[in-house]
Structure 1
Amino acid sequence: MYTDSSYHYDKHFVSSFSSLIDPRRTTNGNYTYPMLEILFLTISAILSGRDTYNDIVIFGEIKIDWLRKYFPYEKGISSHDTISKLFQKIDNEAFNDCFTEWISKYSFTNKESVISIDGKCIKGSAKRKKGGVHIVSAFASEQGLSLSQLVTDKKSNEITAIPDLIDLISIKDKVITIDAMGCQTKIAKKIIHKEGDYVLQVKGNQEKTEEELKIQFNPDLVDDSNITEDVGHGRIETRICEIITNFEKNSTLEKWKGIQSLIRVTSCVIHQDSDKETVQTRYYISSLNTSAKEFNRIIRLHWAIENNLHWCLDVIFREDNKQRKKENSAANFSIIYKIALNLMQMTDDRKSKEKKGSFKEKITRSTLDDNYREKLLNAFLCNN
C-alpha cells in the first residue's frame, strides 16, 4: 500500500485496486515495476490517445516527471513486454471486482435510474476457429457510466451471465432494461428479488408471451399512450408508446415475477432523401406501473449502451481493431477503456460554463495539456 504523503495517491484508487493480486512471480514478492504504477500509467496514456503497449511506454518515458507527481516510478517505465504480459495474466474477474468497487463509491444514480445491460463481442480477440471474447456490461444510461462487466464464451451465454452481473451491482430502486436475449423468467425474478424493476423486450424467444401481448393489445384496453418525434441524420422518427396495466393475468403472464405493465412501441421512420417509410412494432413487459411517456423515455434510454458505450469502445478506442488475443488481455483492456470513459464522463459539470466537448476532443486536450489530463483523472487524484 502506498502511504508516502509526498505523492497524490487517491484513497479510492489505491483502496479499490490494491487488493488485486499481482500475477507476476518473484522470489521475494517485490516488483521492479509495481502493478498500481503500471495501471496508473496505462489509464493516463489511454486518456491521451496512446493505447498500444509501445505507445504507452513512450508516453510514460516522455511524461515521467508528471507521473512522478502521483507515484514514485523509482525504476522508471517498464518495457512494453512487461505491460503486455501483466494484462495477459491479471485475473479478469478480480480486476472487474476492483473496477466495480471503485465506481460504486461515487453516488451518481438516483431512485428509478435506468441501468441497461447488453453484450458486445471484441472482434480483435478472436482466435483461429474460435469467436472473440464476449462481454456483458451494465451501464448507467442517464449518467453514461459503466458499472461492471462479465466475460462469456459466446453471445448465447449472456443468459447465464446476466444474473451473475446483476449480483455484482446495486439495483435497489433502479430500472433494469435488457433486450430480448435477457427476457427470461429467472432474470425477472432475480431483479425483483434484489428490489429493482425491469423493462424487458419480448420477441420470438418467448413466443407464448409475445403472442399473448399481441392478443392483449386491444385498443379499448390501452390505458395510456405517448407520441414522440425526432428529426435528425436525414430521418424523421415517430414513436408511439402504448401501455396496458389492467390486463388478464393468465398463466403465460403470471410466470413473470412482479409484472405490472404490457407495452407496445410502434416506430415509424421516414428517410428524407428517399421518402421511404419503415414501421416496426416492439413489445415489452415491465414490473413498473407508470405513464406511457415514462416508458417511452426508459426504452429509448436503453439504446445509450449501444450509442454511448459500445460505439465509443469501437470508434474512440478502436477496441475491435486491437489484436489482443492472448489470455485475459482483451477483457482487461475493456475494463481500462471503461475506466477512461467513466473519467471523461465524470468531468462533465452541467453547472460549469466550460464546453463539455466530445470524447475525442477530451483525448486531444489530454494529449497536449497535463493540467487537463489531471482534471480527467480527478476521480483518481486525492488532492482534488
Structure 2
Amino acid sequence: MEQLGSQTTSLTPSDAVDLCRFLSLVPDPRDVRGRRYPAAALLCAAAAAVLTGARSLIAISEWVADAPQHVLGTLGFGIDPFTGLRPVPHAATVRRLLQRVDGDALDAAISAYLQARVLPPPSPEGKRPVRRVIAVDGKTVRGSRTKTATAIQLLAAIDHQGVVLAQRQVASKSNEIPSFQPLLDTLDLESTVLTADAQHTQHDHGAYLTGRGAHHVAVVKKNHPGLYAQVKGLPWREIPLGHRTRDHAHHRNEIRRLKVAVFRRIDYPGARQAIQVVRRRHDLSTGKLTIERVYLITSLSVFDATCAELATWIRGHWGIENLLHHVRDRTFREDDSKVRTGTLPRVMASLRNLAISVFRQDGETNIAAALRRTSRDYHRPLRALGLT
C-alpha cells in the first residue's frame, strides 16, 4: 500500500498511463507453487475486457480466450517453451484470482493510476485557480445479497466529472460514517471542495476536512435538529437572491433559487455560510407542482466562491447518480449480477469504475457507445489503458 501511495511521484506523465505498472503492485493472493499466469496480466486482461463491455466473469474469460497472440503478449502472458504459443487461462483461473485479490490494494492501484493518468488543468491567467470538487457517495451492490448476508455497500470519492478517485467497502453491520475518513486518507485534499449528503454532516467529518485543508458543502437535515433549526431559522425572506436557473428536461420545467447567508457562528467546524436552495418543479405530463427546500452549510467564505459556483457544485453532487451509479446499473447491469463469492462483487465494481473513469477522462459522454466502439478492436482497450 505504501508503494502504491508513492507511485505517482516517481513516474513521468508518459509513464503513468501504463496500468500494468500499477497493478503489478497488487499482492498476488495465490500460493507461489503452481502460478502459471502472472496476477498483473490476469488483472490487466480483466480490466481490458470490462472496457469492451464485459459484464460477467464468463464474458471476461471469453474475451481473453478470443484474444490474438500478440494481444496476450501485450497483456503480459508468457510463451510456453514447448508449443511456442501463449496459453490462455481457464475461466476458473480468472475467477479464483478475482475472488481472492485484496480489494483495498486493487482500489488503491486503480486510484493511483487514474490520478496519475491526467495532469491537473492549468489555472486561467489572472483568475482564481480552478477548485477540485469531490463528491462522497455510497452505493449498494444489490446482486451480492444472499440468504445469510446483506448486500455489500461501497463508499466512493468521485470528482464532479465522474472519475472515481477512491473506493472503500463499508463494514457489515455498519454504515458509511466510519468509512468516510479512511476513504479520503489516500487523497490530496488541500484546497479541494467536498460535497456529501446529510449522512456525512458530522462534526468529526467537518473537523477532519478542516484539518486536511479542504472545504465542505454539507447538507443539513432533521437528523441534526439543533443545526437544522439554526439554519432554517434564518430570515431567508429578507436575504437577497444569489443565483437563479431555469431548465426544461424530462417533460418538466425546473427553477432553482439559491440564497447565501454569512453566519457569525454556526455550530459546525469551519462553517462560514448557510445556503438555502429552493427547487420548483412543474411536471408537464401531470401538471403537478412540487416545491423543495434544501439547507446546506459551507466552510467557503464569500471571497472563496461565488453563488453561481456554489449552485454548480450542489447540483453537480446530485448529478453523480447519473454519471456513475446509473451507468453501472443500466449499462453494466450491476444489480443483475449474481457474483457473491469472496471479493468478487467489489472487484467487479472496481473494474467498472475504472472503465467509466477512463472514458470520462477521455472526454466520452455516452459510456454505452464508448463500450461498443472499444469492443470492435482488440487494440482499443489496450491503448486506452496505456498498455501499447
TM-score category (smaller protein): 0.7 to 0.9
CA separation of 1:370 and 1:19: change in aligned 2, threshold 3 A? closer
Q: 2:65 aligns with which of 52, 61, 67?
A: 61
Q: 2:152 aligns with which of 122, 130, 133?
A: 133
Gaps of 5+ in 2: 1-13, 79-85, 122-128
Q: Is 1:24–2:30 an aligned residue pair?
A: yes
* 4+ aligned runs moved over 6 Å, structure 1: 8-11
Alignment of structure 1 residues 1-384 onto 2, 5 Å: 12-27=18-33, 31-74=35-78, 75-105=86-116, 106-108=118-120, 111-141=130-160, 143-153=161-171, 157-220=175-238, 222=239, 224-245=241-262, 247-249=263-265, 253-254=266-267, 256-289=268-301, 290-348=305-363, 356=364, 358-377=366-385, 380-381=386-387, 383=388
The one-letter amino acid paired with 2:343 is N
Q: Deviations over 1:55-110 (max 9, x none)?
A: 22221121133523513423422111111111111111121221222222133467
The one-letter amino acid paired with 1:36 is A
Aligned to 2:26, the other structure's residue is in SS state coil
Is the CA contact 2:40–2:76 (under 8 Å) kept in the aligned structure 1?
Answer: no
How far apart are residue 26 of structure 1 and its match?
A: 2.6
The one-letter amino acid paired with 2:234 is Q
Report how many aligned residue pairs link the two structures.
Answer: 357
Provide the rounded CA distance (Å) in 1 between the counterparts of 2:175 and 2:253. Answer: 36
Question: TM-score, normalised to structure 2's length?
Answer: 0.87
Is the CA contact 2:20–2:41 (under 8 Å) kept in the aligned structure 1?
Answer: no
How far apart are residue 273 of structure 1 and its match?
A: 1.1
Q: Deviations over 1:211-263 (max 9, x none)?
A: 1111123433x265211111011011111111101x342xxx24x12111100
The one-letter amino acid paired with 1:117 is V
Provide the rounded CA distance (Å) in 1 between the counterparts of 2:379 and 2:32. Answer: 36
The one-letter amino acid paired with 1:257 is P
Q: Which range is displaced more, 99-108 or 272-281?
A: 99-108
Provide the rounded CA distance (Å) in 1 between the counterparts of 2:342 and 2:73. Answer: 33
In the other structure, the counterpart of 1:352 is none
Provide the rounded CA distance (Å) in 1 between the counterparts of 2:70 and 2:290. Answer: 54
CA separation of 1:15 and 1:59: change in aligned 2, threshold 3 A? closer
Identity between Structure 1 and Structure 2 (%): 23
The one-letter amino acid paired with 1:98 is A
The one-letter amino acid paired with 2:41 is E
Q: Deviations over 1:282-309 (max 9, x none)?
A: 1000001233222111100102321101
Aligned to 1:107, the other structure's residue is in SS state coil
How far apart are residue 11 of structure 1 and its match?
A: 6.6
Is the CA contact 2:71–2:378 (under 8 Å) kept in the aligned structure 1?
Answer: no
Is the CA contact 1:118–1:179 (under 8 Å) kept in the aligned structure 2?
Answer: yes
Aligned to 2:210, the other structure's residue is in SS state helix
Question: TM-score, normalised to structure 1's length?
Answer: 0.87
Gaps of 5+ in 1: 1-7, 349-355
